[in-house]
Structure 1
Amino acid sequence: MHPSLRPFLSLCLLCCLASSSCLSGAAPPKALVAPIVYDTSTSLYAVSPLGGPPFDRALLLNLDSSNLWKDCMDPLISLSTLQAVLYGSAICNSASVQTSLITGDPGYVSGCTGLPTPICSNNSCSVFVSGSSSSSPNGVLWTGTISLLSTDGAHSGPLVSVPMFAFACSDDILLNAQGALPSNAVGAAGLSRAALALPTQLARKLSIQRRFAYCLPRSSIPGNGILFFGRSPYVFPPAGDISNHLRYTPLVFNPQEADSYFVGVKYVSVNKVQLPINSTLLQLTNNPSIIINGEPAVVGGTSISSTIRYTQLESSIYDALAREFTAAATGMGLSPVGAEGVFETCFDASAAQTSGSGYAVPEITLTFQGGQGASWTFTSSNSVAVVGDGKHICLAFQRLDKFQIRSIVLGTYQQQDALLVFDIANSMLGFVPDLAGLGSHCSNFPFSTSH
């Protein structure tokens, strides 16, 4: 468990045991929340533990994962409070199913042998744990009880238990992959559109809206971010409820990645100068020269990531951005210094003017499909990174390699201190680009431990 979450969760659980609000029979809330923590060693974000064992460890915040999954083998979890999901059941049929596992039949394809374990049980339902693709490791579905904090949008409230919540048990294959999970995390909190991801299961079980929101804490500011489920105000002191600052753009459906989140970017600009970009790159199109599962690959477009740190751009888009950003930055008195570490476009920081909001650098704007005002402007806190012991500032965008099929992947560095609302039911993305511009931060949400 992340050190900053341990005392917080322990106190909440103790209070829960003494409160009827902890019981599943209590009136369901309209919204739930969980703290989000930034992990400096991996640049990933972790969601706080979701109750007692086996959900008492942090989980990776993952927009693409199709379920909640965790390592159940190290240490071996107790099955006494869990119920196996059987192959052919309604829950199993709603998942990305690979096969049925039959214990003790060594001749069964993809079967398992020996005594039942969390990852091998008679007639159990085998699923993909980290996504909906066959390249994902396998896990076995179980149901158990998770707990999240209720909220009125302004404060966190009592814990609410959610019984019979389906999740996947896996071994430690992903835990052993370097950089795959935040430090001390033991699985992932899947937030995709899939039927067994958290947003859809919580909406169905608690009759809350099928939507969630998150606000990623800035890595340079102490404190937790926040993950919301359901509909509520979004109160961040001293700005208050920032719901009226939300801008909306449609979520775009990609049939080959139906559970993931895509948006339509119309154009990219630097200081209001529109970049010369091939508009086809910004759309999802079929490419018959690339075959995925027997079908032409759907390429291009813009996806949203919760695990990639810096926004990645198709090569020609990156070149156009770097060229215009450098020209504008040079006009502001900055001196280019070439590449630095993982960044291609950097400048001498000593010549850059500073203000309360950071360095004075050109503004980068993504303009989305949708109504007026559906644009996202990145100021210096989200557009440049300080490197080289503070000597250089670099354009915090990276070039996609030639084997990637996306044109833009929106990274978490650009999402820091922004509120993103994923309205799955209405297929819309709402966003407040910069809480700092409203005088607040994602870490300002008043989590309470008095309940």
Structure 2
Amino acid sequence: MKKCIFLCLLLFSIYTYVSAHYNPPKTLVSTVTKNTILPLFTFTLNTNEEYFINIGGPYIVRNCNDGLSRPIFPCGSATCALTRRLNPHQCLPPQNTIINGSCACQATAFEPFQRLCNSNQFTYGDFSISSLNPKSPSVTFNDVNYLCVPTPFLKDFPPGVFGVLGLAPTALAAWNQLTPPRLGLEKKFALCLPSDENPMNKGAIYFGGGPYKLKNIDARSMLSYTRLIKNPRKLNNYFLGLKGIAVNGKRILLAQNAFNFDGNGNGGVALSTTSPFTTLRSDIYKVFIEAFSKATLDIPRANGTTPLEFCLKSTTNFQVPRIDLELADGKIWKVFAANSMKKVSADVACLAFVDGGNAPEQAVVIGMYQMENTLMEFDVGRFAFGFSSSLSLVNASCGDFQTQP
């Protein structure tokens, strides 16, 4: 009996100590910056390493041009097999190599700006990220899987960009590795990409769910949710179900299957943080431009500028019709002037939608300009996508999010 009492007291003491000294992180968070050299957004890992955000990247890619040896994944491992399934469809499968007498897994990264493929060692190591918990302002994760690439592969990236943060709906993506169940974090991430209207403006990236504190409110209340669509031929992309596009409240006339996938997985409506503007297949673009042109007949025209073709004379009271992306489950992504018109000079603004040609990979690619100054939540656990309207409608911006404990 005494032994039992002693054991219970010991267990209670251990539990009390752990409860008092273990401070699980709340939401993991980092500031997002828009680069002025390439159209990309970056955030910080490991205190001072900047990573380019790519929601279509299957895993983390890290600069490893230091000559250090790193642990390997055996060629026959489940992790190596998974990298083959997630190999970028633009690239050939890699060939494995021998390191210290053992077969070491190689994986491939795709660099979207120069459209280059590069294969190298798939490995693992430690990564740290900041937290909103003041008692645990930084959290370190051990054995995070990543692709180790040499410097030449990232040579065209702006100075200070250390790697690529892959956030695709894949098991090896950063959102999954930085939200382990033992910490009670949800399998989701949220993005608010800053607008370039203010070069000093910052954005935010969150891992593990909210709250997303915007001034004095939790911005989760501003989100509308739609389901994400799975495409077995394109595992590394997020797709939305789109049933129509409206200009000034009137849906444009398109073929009934305009947004469908074909048998090769092409078509559909994808989200991208590597496409500067929303891209429409030519048949969709033509009808869309005609509708927008009719809705803006009272605004003087201006010459186009590559790649933006439809431009208007801008005035102090510049107003254009709203563009509605009508989603398959009845939700509407409302695109106002701040996200539809790109200022190119003091008195000219261009429609930030581009012609993607007759046979692009996707029917529509929703690009970065339409995402800026908007909160987006990728709830990968439920395969749902949450989105707000432009934060400017509530006199706020991405820079107003709390990113410090």
Note if contact 1:353-1:360 (Cα within 8 Å) is conserved in structure 2.
Answer: no
Q: 2:326 aligns with which of 350, 367, 371?
A: 367
Contact 2:268 2:364 in 1 (8 A): yes
Distance 2:220 2:173 in 1: 25
Spell out, residue by residue over 1:354-375, the C-alpha distance to the aligned partner (whole angstroms, 9 max, x if none): 2xxxx3111111011224xx11
| Partner residue, 2:397 | 441
C-alpha distance in 1 between matches for 2:158 and 2:247? 33
| AA partner of residue 106 (structure 2) | S
- In structure 2, the partner of 1:163 is 142
- Residue number in structure 1 paired with 2:233: 256
How much has 1:64 moved relative to structure 2?
Answer: 1.1
CA gap 1:269/1:407 in 2 versus in 1, 3 angstroms? same
- Give the direction of change, closer, same or farther, for the CA distance of 1:174–1:26 in structure 2 (3 Å limit): farther
Q: Distance in 1 between matches of 2:76 and 2:372?
A: 42
Cα–Cα, structure 1 residues 156 and 245, in superposed 2: closer, same or farther, change >3 Å? farther
Cα separation, 2, equivalents of 1:404 and 1:439: 37
Code of the residue aligned with 1:40 in structure 2: it is T
Shift in Å, 1:135:
7.5
How far apart, CA to CA, are the structure 2 residues paired with 1:232 and 1:45?
21
What's the offset of the Cα at 1:443? 1.1
2:46 alignment counterpart? 51
What corresponds to 1:232 in structure 2? 210
Q: Which residue of 2 aligns with 1:382?
A: 339
| Structure 2: distance between partners of 1:207 and 1:89 | 28
Kindly tell me: are residues 431 and 250 of structure 1, through their superposed partners in 2, closer, same or farther at Cα, counting changes over 3 Å? same
CA shift digits 1:334-372 (9 cap, x unpaired): 1123423321111122xx352xxxx3111111011224x
In the alignment, what sits opposite 2:60?
A: 68
User: Which aligned runs of 4 or more in structure 1 are off by greater than 6 angstroms?
Assistant: none
Asked if residue 424 in structure 1 is aligned to residue 380 in structure 2, the reply is: yes
Describe the SS at the equivalent of 1:91.
Answer: helix
Larger mean CA deviation between 136-145 and 260-269 belongs to: 136-145
Distance in structure 1 (CA, Å) of the matches to 2:184 and 2:120: 28
Is 1:39 equivalent to 2:35 in the alignment?
A: yes
- What are the Cα deviations for residues 231-288 of structure 1, in whole angstroms up to 9, with x where unaligned? 21111115x11211211111001111113100011110111011011131212232xx
1:341 partnered with 2:341: no
Aligned-residue offset at 1:147: 0.6
2-structure distance, mates of 1:182, 1:214 = 21
What residue ranges of structure 1 are gaps of 5+ in the alignment? 1-24, 104-115, 287-296
Indicate conservation of the 8 Å contact 1:63/1:190, yes or no.
Answer: yes
Cα-to-partner distance string for 1:221-240 (whole Å, 9 max, x where unaligned): 223211111121111115x1
**Contact 2:42 / 2:50 at 8 angstroms: preserved in 1?**
yes
Q: Structure 1: how far apart are the matches of 2:203 and 2:325?
A: 24
- The separation in 2 between residues aligned to 1:27 and 1:86, in whole angstroms, is 35
Query: Would you say 1:126 and 2:106 are equivalent positions?
Result: yes
Unpaired segments of 5 or more residues in structure 2?
A: 1-20, 86-93
- Separation in 2, partners of 1:315, 1:162: 45
2:376 counterpart letter in structure 1: L
Give the Cα separation in 2 of the matches to 1:353 and 1:391.
9
Root mean square deviation of aligned Cα: 2.5
Which string of whole-angstrom CA distances, capped at 9 and with x for unpartnered residues, describes residues 371-405 of structure 1? 4xx11111111101112x32311111100023412
Is it true that 1:197 corresponds to 2:173 in the alignment?
yes
SS state at 1:285 partner: coil
Q: Distance in 2 between matches of 1:299 and 1:341?
A: 26
- Counting matched residue pairs gives 373
1:95 to 51, 59, 83: 83
Is 1:312 equivalent to 2:279 in the alignment? Answer: yes
- Quick one: distance in 1 between partners of 2:43 and 2:84? 23
Contact 2:224 2:386 in 1 (8 A): yes
CA offsets per residue over residues 155-194 of structure 1, 9 Å max, x none? 8960001011111101234313x4xx44431220010112
Identity of aligned residues (%): 25
Deviation at 1:202, TM superposition (A): 2.1
Aligned: 1:284 with 2:261: yes
Aligned to 1:323: 290
Q: Tell me if the contact between 2:212 and 2:402 (Cα under 8 Å) persists in the aligned partners.
A: no
Could you tell me whether the CA contact under 8 Å between 2:283 and 2:358 is conserved in 1?
no
Residue 20 of structure 1 aligns with which residue? none
In structure 2, what is the Cα distance between the partners aligned to 1:360 and 1:157?
Answer: 47
